Amino acid sequence: MNFLTRLLFSGRVRRARRALAAEPTPRNYLLLAQLYSQADRALDAQRVCVEGLAAFPENIQLSRYHQRTKRAEREVRLGELRRELALAPRAQLWRELCEILIESDELARAEEELSRWLARDQNPEARYLIARVALARFYADRGRTQGRAALTALDEAIQHLPRDLRPLRAKLDFMCRLGAWQEARDCAALCLTVEPGTLELEGRYRTLSARCEGAPNFERALHEVERSGRLSGDGSGEEARASAGSVQSLLRELAAQPDVQAVLYVRGATALVQGPKGATAERTARSVQSILGGSRSAARRLGLGQVFQVQLEGAFGTLSIAPGEQDAGAILCSGPLGRAREEALLGMAGLNAATAGEGALP
């Protein structure tokens, strides 16, 4: 960035800071963070986002921008690591690179880097990271093939790291999430041989032993997860992140558009509906839930993985559904969906908002 541009930005940043001081709104926080980003001050941008999110925790735009700044920072670090690896490759750098890629869900890139690492030196740490990639794939897709691949990778990692608790714990969590309690108990026993006397592991072993009777085996549990798409413990212990209010305002905003017939937010067995009323609203919500279930199941069986969008077009108009991990947004309009509405819909998915209260369907 040249001197003139920096001077120009410093003036704009000053004005944005003054505006924020005078009126601390989410929009002003966002404007200041954007200006910092444009001026190559990523850390300042992140700081402003964090401050804004502390004041307005439910603001979707701010939280999305915060994620973007974090992603940009991650990309910078990835570039540095790659340059360093080209000059002097070593295990610590490979590990950091692959961990960043796994955490940011870039599994294909992580796999490429891991195979390069393994080709260079047969580091057992790489085997553990391969198992983590396979597990991430399974948790996203919940298909049988991915589940078997994850188990193979985990067993291989355990074989190469026999005194390391991490792959064993990963396998234990995997079995528990599947609901294969017998295999989970055996795994807890293995963990105890590595770290005997750990109270938490002993407690877990006892709980798992109590659950073993009549529990499905690994293959049966995997089949059940592929069929239902639900892992053990899904939707029970997780807190809703956004309130119903923030979603309802988004729904109202979308429903106000002239050709929009209905906007829905579905989470678990409940839904928020804007547009249709009474029995029609209930029927529409049930249909959306049913389409979503069928489409998720079809994608898993077809080996397509996690569903991002389902769109139906017909004499009724266009129904577009954007599913998140546990929730989904849906919009029914008489004309084409359009880019702006599609983006709003995709933003709605993954909010994990509470759906209790007014407008929620039982």
Record the tokens describing residue 351, joined without a space.
């909010």
Site size for other proteins, by CB under 8 A?
Answer: 30
What Rg do the C-alpha atoms of the chain give, in angstroms? 24
Region binding other proteins by CB under 8 A among candidate stretches 4-12, 87-95, 300-308, 354-362:
300-308
Q: Which of 5, 6, 91, 308 binds other proteins (CB under 8 A)?
A: 308
Residue 334 as a binder of other proteins (CB under 8 A): the answer is no
Residue 87 as a binder of other proteins (CB under 8 A): the answer is no
Residue 304 as a binder of other proteins (CB under 8 A): the answer is yes
Strand order in the sheet with 270-274: 270-274, 260-267, 327-333, 317-323
Site for other proteins in 225-254 (CB under 8 A): none
Q: Which residue has the tokens 């919940």?
A: 142
Q: What is the DSSP letter of 274?
A: E
Residue 344 as a binder of other proteins (CB under 8 A): the answer is no
| Distance in Å, CB of 109 to other proteins, minimum | 13
> Residue 38 or residue 326: which is nearer to other proteins going by CB?
326
In a 10 Å sphere around its CB, with 0-12 CB exposed, 13-18 middle and 19+ buried, how is residue 181 labelled? Answer: buried
| Distance in Å, CB of 141 to other proteins, minimum | 7
Nearest alpha-carbon partner for 62 in 80, 47, 82, 77: 47
Residue 315 as a binder of other proteins (CB under 8 A): the answer is yes
Distance (Å, rounded) from C-alpha 93 to C-alpha 96? 5
Q: Write the binding mask 265 to 284 for other proteins: x where contact by CB under 8 A, - elsewhere.
A: ------------------xx
> Residue 14 or residue 301: which is nearer to other proteins going by CB?
301
Q: Which neighbouring-strand residues pair with 263?
A: 274, 331
| Distance in Å, CB of 290 to other proteins, minimum | 4
Q: Which of 72, 192, 291, 361 binds other proteins (CB under 8 A)?
A: 291
Nearby residues of 142 by Cβ (< 8 Å), 6 or more positions away: 225, 226, 229, 231, 300
Q: Which of 126, 172, 250, 299 binds other proteins (CB under 8 A)?
A: 299
> Residue 83 or residue 339: which is nearer to other proteins going by CB?
339
| Distance in Å, CB of 238 to other proteins, minimum | 21
A 10 A CB-CB count for 60 gives: 18
309, 301 in Cβ contact below 8 A? Answer: no
Residue 311 as a binder of other proteins (CB under 8 A): the answer is yes
Distance (Å, rounded) from C-alpha 303 to C-alpha 118? 27
> Residue 8 or residue 316: which is nearer to other proteins going by CB?
316
Record the tokens describing residue 118, joined without a space.
């393994």
Rule CB under 8 A: which residues touch other proteins? 140-141, 283-284, 286-287, 290-291, 294-295, 297-299, 301-316, 319
